[in-house]
Amino acid sequence: MILCIHNFPNRIAGLRFEWAWQNPKISVRLKMYDWQKKKTENGVQFQIRVLERMLNVPPWNKLPLTIQWLRSEYKIPLVPPLHMPIALGPIEEPSEIGDTVTSRETNCTLCHTTVSEDNNIYCVHNQCTFHLICLADKWVSKTDILPVSGTCPKCGTPQLWGEMVRFRNRLSKSKSDIPSQHWSDQLSQK
Ligand SMILES: [Zn+2]
Ligand SMILES: [Zn+2]
């Protein structure tokens, strides 16, 4: 294994991605492109060409994915969308950022009313507190349904929406095992 794509929002999204990557000629999202293997291309280079295309077309280009090269000697140039980091080295377990801070604010930085367990989201750096809807409204562009990234309105650090959602899920998972309403449900209720 030389490369790993991770941070899919769920298992199904990951499996679909994997299937399309292996079947670009029949995938609805990919079959319109030219997938003849070039004479100059080896198998890995072909796979990377498919991958680069996938990362730059819907629905995958909106996901907060991380491209991780496990072995630097096999690294091949590849241009993903700006919000997808390219990492190098073995995959590490996410650190438990939330555990060190004991008190988070209970009011939304944007509208100043109380947040609750099922409508909150925090900036990953300083745990500035927001309502999901308030921050999504601020960050979502006119053409997108979901926000991708933005600057924390309170502390000014750049944030990836996907990272904030994972952070939030980790916090709520550590408190209880009852699945809360999925955050995307709240966005679609608008
Ligand atoms: Zn609010
Ligand atoms: Zn912040």
Residue pLDDT, tens place only, 90-130: 776 555 554 445 567 889 999 999 998 888 899 988 889 99
Q: For a pLDDT cut of 70, what percent of the chain falls above it?
A: 81
Tokens read off for 138? 């601020």
Which residues, at least 6 apart from 24, have a Cβ–Cβ distance to it below 8 Å? 30, 31, 33, 35, 50, 53, 54
Per CATH, the number for 98-188 is: 3.30.40.10
Compute, in angstroms, the gap from residue 151 CA to the centroid of ligand 2.
8
The bound ligand whose nearest atom lies closest to the alpha carbon of 111 is 1
Instruction: List pLDDT tens digits, range 44-98.
Output: 899 999 999 999 999 999 898 999 998 888 888 899 998 888 888 877 655 555 4
Comma-separated ranges of CATH 3.30.40.10 domains in the chain: 98-188
Nearest Cα to Cα of residue 178 among 110, 132, 118 = 118
pLDDT at 104: 73
Beta strands of the chain (E only): which ranges? 3-6, 66-69, 86-88, 120-122, 129-131, 149-151, 158-160
pLDDT at 189: 46
Residues around ion ligand 2, judged by CB within 5 A, are 123, 126, 128, 152, 154-155
Compute, in angstroms, the gap from residue 174 CA to the centroid of ligand 1.
24
Interatomic CA distance for residues 15 and 18, integer angstroms: 5
The bound ligand whose nearest atom lies closest to the alpha carbon of 156 is 2
Instruction: List pLDDT tens digits, range 4-56.
Output: 898 888 888 899 999 999 999 999 999 999 999 999 999 889 999 999 999 99
Beta bridge partners of 158: 151
Residue 178 has pLDDT above 50, yes or no: no
pLDDT at 1: 78
The bound ligand whose nearest atom lies closest to the alpha carbon of 154 is 2
Compute, in angstroms, the gap from residue 114 CA to the centroid of ligand 1.
8
Compute, in angstroms, the gap from residue 81 CA to the centroid of ligand 2.
24
